[in-house]
Amino acid sequence: MTKIHSTAIIEAGAELGADVEIGPYCQVGPGVTVGDGCRLKSHVVLDGQTTIGTENIFHPYSYIGGEPQDLKYNQEKTLLTIGSKNTIREGVSVHRGTVGGGGKTVIGDENLLMGYVHVAHDCHIGNHNILANYTGLSGHVTLDNYVTLGGQNGVAQFLRVGSYVYTGAASLIDRNVPPYATGYGNRFEVKGVNIVGLKRQNFSRESIGEILEAHRIYYRSELKSDEALRVIEETFGESAAVRAFLDFIYSTEGSGKH
């Protein structure tokens, strides 16, 4: 059964699914669709052309679907789409897209956005990611799946962070980060492979070994990047895990250092 606190404001045009709970002093705008089983604890604002899936939890003072912080934005009806089973903690802000960036900000399923995280316009976040407290994504950032960004991370615009990446706290990420990497720093540097994360996701010992060797060749050998990629391709090109690493490098060449 849907429960709406008497102090909440649900504007005409908003669409609420079944079993939604909306707590004190929340506001849901006229262009918002909220899926079944979502919970807005208190003082939550859902705004703009925003579509939200099922069983998401929004903690106090989160502001979701706000106007992009882009001087070129001119009140166009751009979008924010959020999947299911995400946890949005207190003070989180997520902005909808811009026309120049494709018109849509997207968050997938089962992500945890900790306190005061900011997701800017035209970002695309996959599934099962963790963004620790005070982390900020600039516009047009892509996070793949199972990424963990440490507290107080900043990611520069137009960059991509691959799946299973783990970053240390207070890192400034100014380059694309390939899958499986772990690192830290201002500026961010890849230090190794996220072995703990791979084990938790049931990667085989063989796959982890192949990933370790591919990373060593690319980052620690004296080969130039193109030579290193050729060696990795010849040695491990049939490995699905290494193939994902190679495909990431090829697809992001020219769009930021690795």
- List the end-to-end C-alpha distance of the chain, in Å, as a whole number: 49
pLDDT at 258: 79
Q: Within its chain, how far is the Cα of 202 from the centroid?
A: 22
pLDDT at 254: 66
Q: Round to whole Å and give the CA distance between 104 and 123.
A: 8
Encoded tokens for 12: 């005409």
Which residue in this structure is represented by tokens 């009806």? 77
| Residue 21: burial class (beta carbons within 10 Å; 0-12, 13-18, 19+) | middle
**pTM for the complete prediction?**
0.97
The answer to whether residue 122 is catalytic is yes
Q: Round to whole Å and give the CA distance between 237 and 97.
A: 37
pLDDT at 253: 83
The answer to whether residue 47 is catalytic is no
Mean pLDDT per 10-residue segment, the chain (258 residues): 97 98 98 98 98 99 98 97 99 98 98 99 99 98 98 98 98 98 98 98 98 97 96 96 98 74
- 47, 70, 122, 144: the catalytic one is 122
Phi and psi, residue 21, nearest 5°: -115, 125
pLDDT at 255: 60
Q: Round to whole Å and give the CA distance between 20 and 39.
A: 6
The answer to whether residue 121 is catalytic is yes
Residues 41 and 71 sit within 8 Å (Cβ to Cβ): no
- 53, 65, 108, 139: the catalytic one is 139
Q: Which fold has domain 3-198?
A: UDP N-Acetylglucosamine Acyltransferase; domain 1 (2.160.10)
Ordered by start, the domain boundaries in the chain are: 3-198, 202-252
- 118, 121, 128, 140: the catalytic one is 121
pLDDT at 256: 55
